[in-house]
Each structure stands twice: as C-alpha cells, then as structure tokens.
C-alpha cells in the first residue's frame, strides 16, 4: 500500500487532500479540453437556453434580439454538452461515494427557514448569471479557462469576483452577529 | 466529435467539483469568508497545472490547440465580476456548481439555476439598451499576460504557475478562527 500503484482512489484518500488530488486532475482536464475542442465554459448556456425558448414562443422577437443572435444556438456549442455532463458528474460523484447532499443547505445565519434559503439561492443565481454575461464568462470560462490561458480578462474578473464575494459573505455573517440573534 | 468530448469533460468536471465539495454552497461561503481555503486552493492548483501544461503543449503541438482568449473590455469585465461576486456570496453557487448540485439532488441548486435563467432572460432583454453601450469601454481585445509583459508565453506560464504553487503551499487549508 505504501507506494503508488494501489490506484487513484487510495492515493486521494491517504496521501493527498481531495483539493490537491482533484486540482491536478482538473488542470490536466482543462488542458485536454483545449486540445480536444476548446476551453471549458458554462454561463453562455443560460442565454442560449433562453434563446431557444424565446425562439419557440416568440420567434419574431428572438430573431430581432441582438444578444440571442450573438450567443447562437444551444446545440451548436460544446459548452451545452459540458453542462449536461456536469449534471451527470454531480450525480455520479455523490452516488458512487454514497453521499447524500442536503436538499436545502443553510449557509448564512439569516437563513432560518427554507424559504429564506431559496430566496438567497434565487437572488444569487440571478446575479451570477447576469454578472457573468456582462463580463462574458463565469468561474469556468473567465477564471479557470481564462487564467489557464493567461488571459488578462480572467485576472480582472477574478479580482472583481473575490472583492465583492468575500465582502458579501463576511457581511452576511457579521450582520447576524452584530444584531446578536 | 465535439459533443462527445465536451460531454465527457463535463462529466469529469462535475465529478471533481462534487468531490472537493465545491457544489456545496456552505463550503463556498466558508471559502469566501476565508475560514476554509480548500476550494480556492483547488481552483488555483487547477490553473497552475493547466497553464504549465497548455503552454508546454504549445511548444510541441501548437497547431492542435483550440485557444479561446476572451476580450479584455476592462469596465464590463470588472463590473460583471463585481456583480457576480455579490451573487456568489449571497447564494453560494456558480453557474456550473449549481448544475452539479442539481445532479446531487440539491433543491436550492434548482432554485439557483432558475434564478440564473431569469437573470439570462432579463440580460437578453436589456442587452442592447443598457449593456452593449457600457461594456465595450476600454476594450483591449484578446490580450494575455505574455502580450502585456512582452515576454515569452511559456516563461510567463512557468512564472505565474510557480507563483500560484508557492501561494498554495503557504496558505493553510483550514484557517483557525479566533472569534
């Protein structure tokens, strides 16, 4: 057991922290992806999905909308298949390791009921996609793939994300402590 | 072949994200509060390994690489990052980790994706009027750190990658909370 060959799982459990083990694998995956078809990205899939729906219910509007035309069709992009894969990968990761994720995970002291948690998840979801679309990418496209390619935009985006991300997360914890609830 | 490759990449990526608990919004918020740095170190290590590999490959098989450098329009990229960060802190999800969370059976992840789709709809509607005029301010195009510093890309990749590795090594994973 002491050396190598007992396999990746044993290595991940006994010799490396999961973040280190999977960080190396994800780095290799990102490079392979650029070799196979292109850098990993996710957030463009959201407006492409909306574009398909609008194309079905209001084709005239969809054709005249500059952004829908700009992002293109849902299944013309590799990204869409990455997103489908994410769904499967998340399922497999939890299932193969017999983990049961909480249906509703409270993350801030103010989230005392599921309704408050769902409200925060909705607002958060809205802002991450809206912000990502202003910038032209998200954690995957701008930060992981962008910085991997040494793109200046990736560094600027990451600086913005962590500035308000850290501030927001700390404030939402601190406010609760200040009110003594 | 792109759909097949992209699906396989997505499955592996979703699996990795689930294994490092980056699909847990509680874990994301602990990272943003700087109480636990495991996800931040995971991301930094991914980028360090990726940049050294990909720029290494560019020396060997330059014609096989499908680069896609995003344009640096400073105002829009920064503004978008700032808006994204607020959402990241409030909800604890990214556009990708919420999809992984749905795969794991998280209902708040479904709500986050629903919020994201509404965000995309509103963005689509206001794009021409509100977004397009402001985001292209200070557009420097598709530039990399190698372009800006006028250095060889592989040298920049090695230096930045090494810097990331040093920072990863120096930073603790679990940060002691004194309060």
**Residue A174's pLDDT is what?**
84
CB pairs under 8 A between A and B: 516
Within 10 Å of residue B140's Cβ, how many Cβ atoms? 14
Chain A: residue whose CA lies nearest to B107: A103
CB B15 within 8 A of CB A93: yes
pLDDT at residue B179 is higher than 80: no
Give B-chain residues touching A118 at CB under 8 angstroms: 107-108, 111
Tell me the three state secondary structure of residue B178: coil
Phi, psi of A151 (to 5 degrees): -70, 130
Within 10 Å of residue A129's Cβ, how many Cβ atoms? 35
Of B80, B97, B152, nearest in space to A156 by CA? B80
CB A151 within 8 A of CB A131: no
Residues counted in chain A = 181
Out of B20, B69, B120, closest to residue A149 by CB: B69
- When pLDDT is cut at 50, 70 and 90, the band that residue A14 belongs to is low
Q: A179 or B20: which carries more pLDDT confidence?
A: B20
pLDDT digits (tens, 9 = 90+) for A43-66: 999 999 999 999 999 999 999 999
Give A-chain residues touching B12 at CB under 8 angstroms: 25, 29, 85, 89
CB A145 within 8 A of CB A39: yes
- When pLDDT is cut at 50, 70 and 90, the band that residue A3 belongs to is very low
Within 10 Å of residue A29's Cβ, how many Cβ atoms? 22
Q: Which helix (H) or strand (E) holds B61?
A: none
**Residue B17's pLDDT is what?**
98
CA geometry: angle B118, B96, A19, nearest 5 deg: 150
CA distance to partner chain B, nearest, from residue A63 (Å):
12
pLDDT digits (tens, 9 = 90+) for A104-121: 999 999 999 999 999 999
Out of A133, A154, A163, closest to residue B120 by CB: A133
pLDDT at residue A149 is higher than 60: yes
Of A59, A56, A43, nearest in space to A129 by CA? A43
Asked whether the beta carbons of residue B102 and residue A90 sit closer than 8 angstroms, the reply is yes
pLDDT digits (tens, 9 = 90+) for A52-104: 999 999 999 999 999 999 999 999 999 999 999 999 999 999 999 999 999 99
- When pLDDT is cut at 50, 70 and 90, the band that residue A176 belongs to is low
Tell me the three state secondary structure of residue B175: coil
Rounded Cα distance, B175 and B179, in Å: 12
Over pLDDT 70: what percentage of chain A? 88
Rounded Cα distance, B81 and A174, in Å: 23
**Residue B88's pLDDT is what?**
98
pLDDT at residue A7 is higher than 80: no
pLDDT digits (tens, 9 = 90+) for A118-136: 999 999 999 999 999 999 9
**Residue A1's pLDDT is what?**
37
Asked whether the beta carbons of residue A132 and residue B142 sit closer than 8 angstroms, the reply is no
pLDDT digits (tens, 9 = 90+) for B123-139: 999 999 999 998 889 99
Structure tokens given for A146: 């962008």
Rounded to the nearest 10 degrees, the angle between the axes of helix A152-179 and helix B74-91 is 40
CA A66 remoteness from chain centre: 25
pLDDT at residue B99 is higher than 60: yes
Asked whether the beta carbons of residue B90 and residue A124 sit closer than 8 angstroms, the reply is yes
Rounded Cα distance, A143 and A139, in Å: 5
Out of B51, B74, B119, closest to residue A125 by CB: B119
Asked whether the beta carbons of residue B51 and residue A103 sit closer than 8 angstroms, the reply is no
**Residue B134's pLDDT is what?**
85
């Amino acid at each position: 057991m002491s050396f190598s060959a007992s396999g990746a799982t044993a290595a991940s459990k006994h010799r490396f922290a999961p973040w280190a083990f999977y960080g190396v694998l994800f780095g290799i995956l990102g490079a392979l992806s650029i070799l196979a078809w292109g850098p990993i990205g996710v957030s463009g899939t959201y407006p492409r999905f909306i574009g398909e729906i609008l194309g079905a219910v209001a084709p005239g509007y969809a054709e005249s909308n500059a952004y829908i035309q700009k992002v293109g069709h849902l299944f013309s992009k590799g990204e869409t298949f990455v997103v489908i894969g994410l769904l499967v990968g998340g399922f497999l990761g939890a299932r193969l390791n017999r983990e049961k994720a909480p249906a509703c995970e409270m993350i801030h002291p103010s989230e005392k009921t599921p309704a408050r948690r769902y409200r925060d998840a909705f607002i958060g979801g809205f802002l991450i996609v809206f912000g990502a679309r202003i910038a032209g990418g998200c954690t995957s496209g701008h930060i992981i793939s962008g910085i991997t390619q040494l793109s200046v935009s990736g560094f600027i985006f990451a600086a913005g994300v962590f500035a308000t991300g850290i501030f927001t997360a700390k404030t939402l914890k601190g406010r609760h402590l200040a009110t003594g609830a | 072949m792109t759909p097949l490759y992209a699906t396989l990449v997505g499955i592996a990526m979703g699996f990795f994200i689930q294994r490092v608990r980056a699909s847990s919004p509680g874990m994301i918020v602990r990272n943003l509060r700087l109480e636990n740095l495991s996800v931040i170190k995971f991301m930094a290590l991914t980028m360090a390994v990726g940049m050294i590999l990909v720029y290494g490959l560019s020396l060997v098989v330059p014609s096989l690489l499908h680069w896609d450098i995003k344009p640096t329009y400073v105002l829009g990229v920064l503004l978008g990052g700032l808006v994204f960060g607020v959402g990241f802190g409030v909800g604890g999800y990214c556009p990708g980790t919420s999809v992984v969370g749905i795969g794991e059976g998280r209902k708040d992840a479904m709500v986050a994706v629903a919020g994201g789709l509404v965000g995309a709809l509103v963005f689509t509607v206001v794009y021409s009027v509100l977004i397009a005029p402001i985001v292209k301010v200070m557009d420097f195009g598709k530039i990399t750190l190698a372009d800006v510093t006028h250095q060889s890309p592989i040298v920049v990749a090695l230096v930045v990658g090494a810097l990331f590795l040093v920072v990863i090594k120096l930073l603790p994973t679990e940060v002691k909370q004194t309060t």
